[in-house]
Amino acid sequence: MEKGVKFNDLESEIEKVAKKFIEKSNEKEIYVVSHFDTDGITSATIIIQTLKKLDKKFSVKIIKRLEKKFIYELPKDKLILFLDLASGSLPHIENSGLEDIFIIDHHEIIHEIPKKIHIINSELTGNQKMSSSCLAYLFCKQIIPESKELEKLAVLGMIGDCMEESINKINNKILNDGEIKRKRGLLIYPSTRPLNRTLEYCSNPYIPGVTGNSEGVLELLREVGLNSEKGKYKSLIELTEEEMSKLVTSIMLRNPKSRNRKIVGDIFLIKFFNKLEDARELSAIINACSRLERSDIAIQFCMEISRAKKEAESIHIKYKQVIISGLKFVSETEKIEGSGFVIINAKNNVKDTIVGTIASILSNSAIYEEGTIIITMAYYDDKIKVSSRCVGKNTRNLREILTKVIEKIGGEVGGHEFAAGCMIKQKKEQEFIELLQKNLEIELVKI
């Protein structure tokens, strides 16, 4: 298959790859390799549940990133199934000596696809934006049609990758497969908890005088005309249209920059552990577990194993504290700032697993102007993890900018147009920063 080839029908391509997978898996044990974020974890869980039903012999490895050394060390006698990664590592996979390789991913493909690789990637179908979890669900549904109970995991992965705004015809079919409820409302979470607590811990959007301020929360609620009943406030999903409208207006008045972002949209409610929950909250819990190196708990949580629920929620609380600590450091540290960009080098002061989250939070805050590119960096062993995000909508392709730098100094690039990252050697730190600044300034001139 050549680079640039497009499939006209994603579903028929999934059917074709699923048949080939069943054929090949009859001969070999399956080795599943998945990314550690919410989309990767939910994709892995969907596959695990399906392989268990098929009584297949398999093992699972959850990783932060796919590196060349890891690919070359993969077992040659097993069928390898990559989830939510590998589309950017096709040359390494081709030269690794691996024979039976399957990829379910949604990241950009920039290399020619080797003939021995069986791939499902929504990028090959043009404008059909889908999460890996949704693709994994459609793949498993081809194998076992009665797989509707896995649909909620597909939705959690979609929410985790912030793709709910890109719901297309196929995604809608997935939503209709399960018992997913939607309600139009303010996009802060959890929407199922008392509003005073939700507003106090809300960081996206950040609400001046309200976020982290219990007195400010009560003042806002009084202003909107919302009072507690028997000491308890309504949740977001319990608000009337009029109450919701007043609340949105009050938040916009406190944070004028929120007018430039979408703060009202669809709230997705999923039945989890026999209780209706906000999909964004569940997604955040899964993500927290993996980022604090407990992917095992994240998968058990996705499988709704009772003993994992309390531990996952505890990890989520700890993770929020780690994020707050990271944001505090970032707010106080010296930054490299230019016209339309800021580079924040956290070195050893912020975990490499959360610099992407920090960049995302900053890109959604009122701190930087529309169009600003935010680059965060953190040490990881003898390497540096780099994450980039863009404030609001912008025409600059972050992956292309990082690729231009990496082509000169070496490293690995991944991600999307408006959310990309790379990995470089620490010894290349200063050279990377200088080249990055130069390329960011060139891109700005182009615009």
Going by C-alpha positions, the residue among 201, 125, 197 that lies closest to residue 168 is 125
Of 261, 285, 306, the residue at which a domain comes to its end is: 261
The stretch 114-120 carries a mean pLDDT of 92
- Token couple for 423: 């990995």
Residue 293 counted as domain residue: no
Residues 131, 239, single domain; the answer is no
Q: How far apart are CA 131 and CA 324, in angstroms?
A: 28
Cα 357 → chain centroid: 9
The average confidence (pLDDT) of the chain is 87
Give 1's pLDDT tier (boundaries 50, 70, 90).
Answer: very low
Residue 322 counted as domain residue: no
Residue 256: the pLDDT is 65
Of 147, 177, 207, the residue at which a domain comes to its end is: 177
Residues 170, 38, single domain; the answer is yes
Per the model's pLDDT, the better-predicted residue between 147 and 243 turns out to be 243
Residues 18, 165, single domain; the answer is yes
Of 261, 281, 315, the residue at which a domain comes to its end is: 261
Share of the chain above pLDDT 70, in %: 90
Cα 345 → chain centroid: 22
The stretch 53-73 carries a mean pLDDT of 94
Residues 203, 349, single domain; the answer is no
pTM over 0.85: no
Q: CA neighbours within 13 Å on the CB side: how many for 100?
A: 20
Residue 423: the pLDDT is 92
Going by C-alpha positions, the residue among 380, 343, 384 that lies closest to residue 362 is 343
Residue 287 counted as domain residue: no
Residue 3: the pLDDT is 47
Residues 101/117, Cβ–Cβ less than 8 Å: yes
Q: With H, G, I as helix, E, B as strand and everything else as coil, classify residue 196.
A: helix
Q: How far apart are CA 317 and CA 299, in angstroms?
A: 18
Residues 149, 205, single domain; the answer is no
Query: How much is the CA Rg of the chain, to the nearest whole Å?
Result: 22
Residues 159, 239, single domain; the answer is no
Domain that holds residue 400: 334-446
Residues 364, 420, single domain; the answer is yes
Amino acid at 407: E
Residue 73: the pLDDT is 96
Residue 438 counted as domain residue: yes
CATH number of the domain where residue 360 is located: 3.10.310.40
Residues 369, 429, single domain; the answer is yes
Residue 327 counted as domain residue: no
Q: Residue 240: is its pLDDT beyond 80?
A: yes
Residue 375 counted as domain residue: yes
- CA dihedral angle for residue 243, residue 245, residue 246, residue 247, rounded to 10 degrees: 80
Per the model's pLDDT, the better-predicted residue between 35 and 370 turns out to be 35
Residue 311 counted as domain residue: no
Q: Which residues contact 272 (CB under 8 A, 6 or more apart)?
A: 152, 282, 304
Read off the pLDDT of residues 172-211 as tens digits, 9 standing for 90 and up: 667 766 668 888 888 888 888 899 988 987 766 767 788 7
Residues 51, 83, single domain; the answer is yes
The stretch 338-351 carries a mean pLDDT of 93
DSSP bridge pairs for 121: 105
- Provide the residue count of the chain: 447
Residues 236, 155, single domain; the answer is no
Other C-beta atoms closer than 10 Å to the C-beta of 198 total: 21
First to last CA, the chain: 35
Give 171's pLDDT tier (boundaries 50, 70, 90).
Answer: low
How many structural domains is the chain composed of?
3
Residue 284 counted as domain residue: no
Give 302's pLDDT tier (boundaries 50, 70, 90).
Answer: very high
The stretch 137-150 carries a mean pLDDT of 90
Residues 343, 385, single domain; the answer is yes
Q: How far apart are CA 221 and CA 247, in angstroms?
A: 8
Q: Residue 348: is its pLDDT beyond 90?
A: yes
Residue 257: the pLDDT is 60
CA distances from 401 to 270, 410, 420 (A): 38, 14, 9
Q: Where are the alpha helices (DSSP H) in 303-428?
A: 306-332, 355-363, 398-409
Residues 341, 442, single domain; the answer is yes
E strand or H helix that includes residue 299: helix 295-302
Q: Is the peptide bond preceding residue 205 cis, with omega within 30 degrees of 0?
A: yes
Going by C-alpha positions, the residue among 285, 279, 317 that lies closest to residue 298 is 285
Q: With H, G, I as helix, E, B as strand and everything else as coil, classify residue 270.
A: strand
Residues 428/406, Cβ–Cβ less than 8 Å: no
Going by C-alpha positions, the residue among 157, 159, 211, 188 that lies closest to residue 46 is 157
Q: Residue 148: is its pLDDT beyond 50?
A: yes
Q: Residue 384: is its pLDDT beyond 80?
A: yes
Q: Residue 300: is its pLDDT beyond 80?
A: yes
